[in-house]
Amino acid sequence: MAKILIYDIETTDLNADWGSLVCIGYKWLGDKNPTILSILDYPGEDVLDDSNLVKAFHEIVSQADMVITYFGKGFDQPYMTSKYLENRLEWLANIPHVDLFFTAKSNVKVSRKSLDNLVSVYKLGKKYNVSRRAWRQAKVGIKEGINEVIKHCYVDVNLTEKLYYLFRPGIRQHPRISDYAACAACGSKKLQRRGRALSTMKGPRQRVQCQDCGHWSLRPWEEILPKEKVAAEA
């Protein structure tokens, strides 16, 4: 089965050349609890030196077959790539990346596309709010503030996983995590035919829905019907 990694980062600045990492939360999809790597666990020469933390996460994400984030394509991934290059670490493989922000942007109409608002609207839980003072403490390396940011990151990873499960049925271009005979999104073999779908180029196709995760996919019509019937349908 594919190794799918959910992750979230917390930093002292929005730009990697001006900021440093406070912590990185990650969870392998299906695991019970997230793991948090923080600057407290991987200290450098001073409070600005996040090199050991960067290297530790680089080893972890290198094992992933696919990653899931919320606005990770806009922030987390390019931030971490900047940090990898700064520390002369090799480029990561170009693996599939499901960014739930863009799923939300394309599919739902809500007042704000923030993770905070979405989990509130869909009753998935509540984010852990960090006070302004705690954020300022974390930015200068004070343990009390860093621990508050760690709690915030832990909750965000769990909420991202919940939002992924909610959105997964509607992610049209979900990376295929198993063989073609199974559900593209979860690998289940419990598939149900649900009518035909039309396309401009490939003609009619069989619409299929997974009975475990609800994900929709398409199959070539020829794989479902005998050739004689395909001809009759044409």
What is the reported pTM? 0.90
pLDDT of residue 201: 74
C-alpha angle 9/15/115, rounded to 5°?
Answer: 40
Give the fold, CATH level 3, of 4-170. Nucleotidyltransferase; domain 5 (3.30.420)
What mean pLDDT comes out for the span 191-212? 85
**Torsional class of 64: left (φ above 0), alpha (ψ -120 to 50), beta (otherwise):** beta
CA 70 from centroid of its chain's CA atoms: 6
Q: Regarding predicted confidence, which is higher, 48 or 89? A: 89
What local confidence, expressed as pLDDT, does residue 179 receive? 84
The average confidence (pLDDT) of the chain is 92
Average pLDDT for residues 40-56, to the nearest whole number?
95
Domain ranges across the chain: 4-170, 191-233
Q: Which residues pair with 216 in a beta bridge?
A: 209
pLDDT exceeds 80 at position 34: yes
User: Three-state SS for 68?
Assistant: strand
DSSP string for residues in 18-53: T--EEEEEEEETT-SS-EEEETTTS--SSTT--HHH
Residue 164's contacts (CB-CB under 8 Å, 6 or more residues apart) are: 6, 29, 68, 98, 100
Query: Which pLDDT score is estimated for 20?
Result: 97
